[in-house]
Structure 1
């Protein structure tokens, strides 16, 4: 072999060996998460704004890149199939004596993956759903007689039962026990929230012609206005999606024409999602890229509250789409001690009103309002205190206190308003008052 050819071959071998070594080192660094560690060191040494700026626009290209990922079956090997980027699991195939691997997959999905999964045969025995539907029909009928049907911008004729979790128990204890004894609730809720979670449910029936929702995110920050959202630090935006698990159990079959939930996989990983979903360009992107999966009665879908989603339009001529909407809350998020704020406000209101008369809504006045009154209107009784149009929250104690100071209320007027609000927020004695008509 000529010396030049030998030299060329030697060079090629050296280049290949060097490339292999670099690849090996890069793989090791990736495995050890060295890039993430270096990025964290950079972050630790540079102070950045704690909140998203209302003066800048959220990045649609970033959302586009995140949501164009492909879900790999290798990532979720326990799934029966991947449909439209969504892992589909068949509950009938699992032995629940060992759920660790399955829960690992479900957790990864909501935190880092597509953000949504479907559980086929969540209720293998649908007779419990039939019994539950009869109980719901009785509740809806009674509430319609009490308050009449009411429409909204999602279309008239739809039915929603607020606090169906409590009303179901009072209406039909037997089907209630059978329903919530389903061990899959424990598997799913534990996988994302850990122990100590609390379940709430709202029944939603969308009649033919029921219109689609606008895309949105959910509780907690999803229930805030755009102006309020940017006041919360970035860490809270991330935390909000980790405090709640959203889901729905299909109480009827849900063919695509009936409008099952529209979903944008991977959108829960977009950091600025809570302040972007109302923007026209983000709505347009959602409308062009969402996916929906048909469900059968007894199936369930669970997703991160940070996922961009919306109820679909029921374009059928004669089919009612019925779902039991599941919202599960983390045990964390409650105070260590119970504070009854009303006596505190009553005792200090005249002093606060005088301070406001002199100073206006100064930083000191606002600081006291935030300390003495509740700033969050949940939990509440949504039959009596429904969200404002657009899905916003009811008025909080702090907002009422500020409004009363500005309008010059005396102590008697203020306490009357706060007591009335508390009475309306109490679930006891008010279960089964009425049904709000509300699409979802």
Structure 2
């Protein structure tokens, strides 16, 4: 064979070999074989279950994470993006439009899990008279507790500087049942809570009033792991660090206007995504970075802010001379977690049932009535005693308190009937379950 022909044949063979190699590499890339092999190799290696106490969380990784920019294109239903925080106006939405609300809930969920981790809802309460009546109830509770025990401060200030109502949810119901019913009938509560936690959530709340001169908090994360000590946090496996942030939704409703000078919540968007954040927020370099980079949004009475509990945040300093900043702090818990405060729903239902029944007779099972039932009663039937409370017909679980309350108003049962049934449910759910059915007498 002439040399020129041999050269051409060699060149052709080389080209064919190159093309074949590229094809094989392309197929491997398409099938993501390298990643699969890495995963397989990695799966054979046992990784430490807990974060190392001998290494520090990376401040550089934290900076890179929190320097992301929130894009309006990602959250098209937002009214605007302010300081990296999506701001929605509740007046822009028709809550009876299921498709629109479903799209909004998709955005809210994405925000807290994969986005900046915080959003504001303008006009969460459109009727500020409800807020004003609640404030009057809170003032009465604060005055009574101050007289009885000298009052209570909050996490970061004594009662002389700030005022705190622990478990304001229950105290509000017993102080002013009608206003409590109106307040937690707000249909925006289930829209927000369901978007992150799904059905069966439970609401708790604490009122916090930061008076003129009130000092700022240190940056922190919230319940569950956020409330652990330094030593305890590192004992929990990595999966629990991720899980903790998914069990709670944090929020606050502005009960006064909140100009920047009054110290509305300081937040660091995107910080909830930092895996080691529950131990990092306590360290000096992370505290300093937060102090240099946090943002804060002014709010008006009736607005609300909600955020992932793993978001680095802190109450701000009230630098005004004559203005008290007041908020109802909302903490909502997944039925798969434990609430920070104990809510005994039975006396609350006893206090509000007649008001709720009257509301139902006018409105039927409206969004407001449904929202209130979800707020005040337990939506999860476990733990229970399955010998005494077997699964309801056609279901995998027995009735919960919400089921009983919803059925009670729809059937027009009186307060005594509903309270007897709820009391029996509570007793038969106990460990021994051997309880004679009897009516428990509540206050009239």
Q: Compute the TM-score of the two structures, normalised by the length of structure 1.
A: 0.68
Consecutive unaligned residues in structure 1, runs of 5 or more: 1-17, 340-440
Q: Distance between the aligned counterparts of 1:33 and 1:139, measured in 2?
A: 62
Q: Distance between the aligned counterparts of 1:311 and 1:101, measured in 2?
A: 31
Instruction: Map Cα deviations across residues 17-73 of structure 1 (whole Å, 9 max, x no partner).
Output: x9xx99xx99x97xx999987765554333211100111111111110000000001
> What is the DSSP-based 3-state SS (H/G/I as helix, E as strand, rest coil) of the residue aligned with 1:260?
coil
Q: Distance between the aligned counterparts of 2:118 and 2:35, measured in 1?
A: 26
1:333 Cα deviation from its structure 2 partner: 3.0
Q: Distance between the aligned counterparts of 1:134 and 1:210, measured in 2?
A: 22
Instruction: Map Cα deviations across residues 239-278 of structure 1 (whole Å, 9 max, x no partner).
Output: 0000000000000000000000000000000000000111
Partner of 2:67: 68
Partner of 2:320: 316
Whether the 8 Å contact between 1:149 and 1:157 is mirrored in structure 2 is: no
Q: Distance between the aligned counterparts of 2:238 and 2:218, measured in 1?
A: 24
Q: Distance between the aligned counterparts of 2:34 and 2:249, measured in 1?
A: 31
Partner of 2:118: 116
Q: Distance between the aligned counterparts of 1:336 and 1:147, measured in 2?
A: 36
> What is the DSSP-based 3-state SS (H/G/I as helix, E as strand, rest coil) of the residue aligned with 2:236?
coil
Asked if 1:245 corresponds to 2:249, the answer is yes
Change (3 A) 1:39 1:166: farther
Q: Distance between the aligned counterparts of 2:111 and 2:38, measured in 1?
A: 24
Q: Which has the larger radius of gyration?
A: 2
Q: Distance between the aligned counterparts of 2:75 and 2:244, measured in 1?
A: 25
> Structure 1 stretches (4+) deviating beyond 6 angstroms?
32-39
Consecutive unaligned residues in structure 2, runs of 5 or more: 1-18, 339-380, 386-444
Of 208, 211, 225, which aligns to 1:207? 211
Q: Which residues of 2 match residues 384-395 of structure 1 at below 5 A?
A: none
1:148 Cα deviation from its structure 2 partner: 1.1
User: How well do the aligned residues superpose, as a CA RMSD in angstroms?
Assistant: 2.5
Change (3 A) 1:40 1:251: farther
Q: Distance between the aligned counterparts of 2:192 and 2:32, measured in 1?
A: 29
Q: Which residues of 2 match residues 166-315 of structure 1 at below 5 A?
A: 166-315=170-319
Change (3 A) 1:40 1:117: farther
Asked if 1:154 corresponds to 2:153, the answer is no
Comparing 329-338 with 58-67, greater Cα deviation is found at: 329-338
Q: Distance between the aligned counterparts of 1:33 and 1:85, measured in 2?
A: 35
1:150 Cα deviation from its structure 2 partner: 5.2
Change (3 A) 1:150 1:139: closer
Q: Distance between the aligned counterparts of 1:38 and 1:211, measured in 2?
A: 54
Q: Distance between the aligned counterparts of 2:291 and 2:256, measured in 1?
A: 25
Asked if 1:128 corresponds to 2:130, the answer is yes
